[in-house]
């Protein structure tokens, strides 16, 4: 379905809802996959589960806000798995609340992970991809990057930063044969969404709540992580060989475009 994929993949936020689904899809496509996350127990559990199936995976506990940590992880992956062909930036955090009530720490953490983490991982991987003149990068941003959301100012702004950074990188790397794209999910069934709104999340997301959402979700359901993983794998694959700097929204129509 996604077309040819071959080479080593590295996924940040690998232990999370969307990241783990991307990892599983890449493993299904028989790629060696490096799992990057700061949640060590969840990372080890996923790696052990995949390892038991015979998959070639390497878990590297890494905090993407720390550029030295990320550089070390990339070097380790290149030595232990081989040249990195694909990077998926899926690590992210959501600190919600009215803008006037956000703390400095909430703003700084949001940008450190969602924007800084994408910069650190993409820069480290670009440095090894450029001499080889091949590779593809996909950043998982959010439809909130382009559509204002109540109580999501820091998150939305950080996602806009990561999306635009990825597209600028795509412009710089196009001449080196490297494609950089964005997937912008809407509400997706993962721990991040549950932590935000609890059990009421799904109905509220789908129907729309005037105080919190603009239109709800026209397709009538939130996304499953597999919907997002499908889009990510498509953009990584040769089927997307002529697509770069693209922002692919996967939100059931919530952003009306």
Cα–Cα distance measured from residue 85 to residue 129, given in angstroms and rounded to the nearest whole number: 7
| Pattern 78-117, ligand NAD, x by CB under 6 A | ------------xxxx-------------------x---x
Count of residues binding ligand NAD (CB under 6 A)? 29
Contact status: 22 vs ligand NAD (CB under 6 A): no
Instruction: State the catalytic residue, choosing from 155, 165, 213, 234.
Output: 155
Rg, the chain, Cα only: 17
Cα–Cα distance measured from residue 242 to residue 247, given in angstroms and rounded to the nearest whole number: 14
User: Among 1-9, 47-55, 62-70, 206-214, which window interacts with ligand NAD (CB under 6 A)?
Assistant: 62-70
User: Among 10-18, 25-33, 127-135, 170-178, which window interacts with ligand NAD (CB under 6 A)?
Assistant: 10-18
CB 193 within 8 A of CB 94: no
One residue of 122, 147, 151, 188 binding ligand NAD per CB under 6 A: 188
Cβ-count burial of 45 within 10 angstroms (0-12 exposed, 13-18 middle, 19+ buried)? middle
Q: Would residue 155 show up in a list of annotated catalytic residues for this protein? A: yes
Cα–Cα distance measured from residue 129 to residue 2, given in angstroms and rounded to the nearest whole number: 22
CB 20 within 8 A of CB 28: no
**Residues annotated catalytic, as ranges:** 155
| Residue ranges in contact with ligand NAD by CB under 6 A | 12-13, 15-19, 37-39, 62-65, 90-93, 113, 117, 140, 142, 185, 187-188, 190-193
């Amino acid at each position: 379905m996604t077309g040819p994929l071959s080479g080593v993949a590295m996924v940040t936020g690998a232990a999370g809802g969307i990241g783990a689904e991307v990892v599983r899809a890449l493993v299904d496509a028989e790629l060696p996959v490096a799992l990057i996350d700061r949640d060590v127990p969840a990372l080890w559990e996923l790696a052990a589960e995949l390892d038991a199936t015979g998959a070639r995976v390497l878990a590297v506990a890494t905090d993407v806000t720390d550029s030295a940590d990320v550089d070390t992880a990339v070097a380790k992956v290149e030595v232990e798995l081989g040249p990195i062909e694909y990077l998926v930036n899926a690590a992210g955090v959501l600190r919600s609340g009215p803008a006037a009530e956000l703390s400095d720490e909430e703003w700084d953490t949001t940008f450190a992970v969602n924007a800084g983490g994408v910069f650190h991982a993409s820069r480290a991987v670009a440095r090894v991809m450029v001499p080889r003149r091949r590779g593809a990068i996909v950043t998982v941003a959010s439809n909130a990057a382009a559509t204002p959301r109540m109580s999501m100012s820091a998150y939305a702004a950080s996602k806009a930063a990561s999306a635009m950074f990825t597209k600028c990188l795509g412009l710089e790397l196009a001449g080196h044969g490297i494609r950089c794209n964005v997937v912008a999910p809407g509400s997706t069934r993962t721990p991040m969404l549950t932590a935000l709104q609890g059990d009421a999340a799904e109905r509220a997301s789908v129907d729309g709540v005037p105080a919190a959402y603009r239109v709800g979700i026209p397709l009538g359901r939130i996304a499953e992580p597999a919907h997002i993983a499908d889009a990510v794998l498509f953009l990584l694959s040769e089927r997307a060989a002529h697509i770069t700097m693209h922002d692919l929204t996967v939100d059931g129509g919530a952003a009306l475009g």
